[in-house]
A and B are shown apart, each in its own frame.
Chain A
Amino acid sequence: MNNGSDKWDWQAVSDFMPHFWDGVLVTLQVLALGSLISFTVGLVWALAFRAPTRFIRWPVGLITEFIRNTPLLVQLFFLFFVLPEWGVQFSAETTGTIAIGLHYSTYTAQVYRAGIEAVPVGQWEAAKALSLSYARTWTAVILPQAIRRVVPALGNYVIAMLKDTPLLASIGVLELLQRSRLEAAQTFQYTEALTVVGVAFILIAYPSSLLLRALERRLVR
């Protein structure tokens, strides 16, 4: 360990690597669970947008707009500090995952909504003509067609979520950024750990976005 010199130090990089991989694991875990939450809750919002009564449509519209127009960071602190006051105790990681999943559910809801609106009216009419039930119309006719179209757009939000996982460092979740900060605090070498983490995000995000573009060409149309 040298004294935080201004030169690039490969030794610091290799010292950081074990923590780096632990951080990658936590980041991917948060990302996977957060995506799952955002996909399911988003679908619930999207179905509620089309509920038969406005007493469901309006409050849901208001709630999702509110969540979508306010910062994830503040929502994160809200959940982290306020939930315990209400007697709900979650770990930082659970709170962070819920916050990020809930925040992005309002985005995926809009994606689903666009996908559902893109299903031709004839499909609704055919379901009605076959006197399918409400539930069966959704599960057997509309959603299979809608979801196929929205997979690439949902994937884009997974990448956006990946880039928002560093926010969880603010409540002490040991994901990539927090690992690099801890490393830097120990060794006083900010350069290496932070740069490695920054590059890691590009190395994960860019190939994923290329993959999604390829997927989009196959699935949409």
Chain B
Amino acid sequence: MTAGLWEHWVLPGIWITIQLTLYSAALATAVAFGVGMARTHRLRVVRFFAAFYTEIFRGTSALVLMFWIFFVLPQLAGWALVPMWAAVLALGLSYGAYGAEVVRGALNAVAPAQREAGVALSFTPWQRMRLILLPQAVPEMIPPFSNLLVELLKGTALVSLLGIGDVSFAAYLVRLATTESAQIYSITLVIYFVIAFVLTRGMRALERKAKAGLGQQPETGPGLLRRLGRRQTAAESGTIVTGGGAS
């Protein structure tokens, strides 16, 4: 592989992948907290619509959703999004739905007495959420969010199918240019693995900090896997299983 390919396609591709991951993660976080808190709302209709949202976006495939936003939405709505933002929207909305389940689970896991204490002190629902529930729930959300973040990173590879120049797309072009697949695809896999590793490490640091604020310590995994910054699996965290372009 020549330096030119590296400089013009792979490096910008890495940057685009990172950008996509960060923007989609920001949107997904906003959606997750909004919808997740709505699922614990006292009004039944709010809960219903929040549940409807999560089931729709968790039910469909992220790739199909991405194609839909890319090809169908412009026809129905009469305007089109820039490809990059269409991708961010698709990823953010679908991973936000997974995140909403995390938020809901963590909020429900806060001891009921805490909420009752808030009621007894005549806090408003919003005060209870802001001052009592969230500070205790957020540290619990970080490990599953860390999983989702890596799933999201893996999901960004889908945008290459829409022609956005991320690492996967760069790999495709380099393959065409060099007619050599093994090398570039191995490199691409390693790039993703390294980004995932950095993200997981960052989230672990965040978890340690957040739990220290509550006077807790995160649990550690065994041996080699801990050193790899092992991600918790859905089976362990007992929350949800991703998918839908959770590739």
Contacts and interface: CB of A to CB of B under 8 A. Distances in A.
Given A78-B189, A110-B233, A194 B171 contact: no
Given A110-B233, A198-B68, A103 B247 contact: yes
A150 B181 contact: no
Interface in A153-212: 153, 156-157, 159-167, 169-170, 176-177, 181, 184, 190-191, 194-195, 197-199, 201-202, 205-206, 209
A81 interface: yes
Nearest to B230: A65
B8 to A, nearest CB: 20
Contact of B189 (A66, A157, A165): A66
The number of chain B residues touching the other chain, given as a range, is: 35 or more
A86 to B, nearest CB: 8
Contacts of B165: none
Given A85-B181, A153-B241, A198 B64 contact: yes
Contacts of A202: 55-56, 59-60
B172 A77 contact: yes
Contact of A81 (B61, B154, B161, B181): B181
B235 A111 contact: yes
A13 to B, nearest CB: 13
B39 interface: no
A153 B59 CA distance: 17
Give the dominant DSSP class at B's interface: helix
Contacts of A170: 161
A81 B141 CA distance: 39
A52 interface: no
B19 to A, nearest CB: 16
Contacts of B230: 65
Interface string B54-78: 0110111111110110011001101
A71 interface: yes
A72 B244 CA distance: 11
Nearest to A8: B76
Interface string A37-71: 00000000000000000000110011001101111
B231 A68 contact: yes
B40 interface: no
Given A74-B188, A197-B64, A205-B60, A62 B228 contact: yes
Interface in B175-212: 175, 181-182, 185-186, 188-189, 192-193, 196-197, 200
Interface string B200-227: 1000000000000000000000011100
Given A71-B168, A72-B247, A205-B60, A194 B68 contact: yes
Contacts of B243: 157, 159-164
Nearest to A107: B233
B28 interface: no
A107 B158 CA distance: 20
A75 interface: yes
B109 interface: no
Interface in B135-190: 150, 153-158, 160-161, 168, 171-172, 175, 181-182, 185-186, 188-189
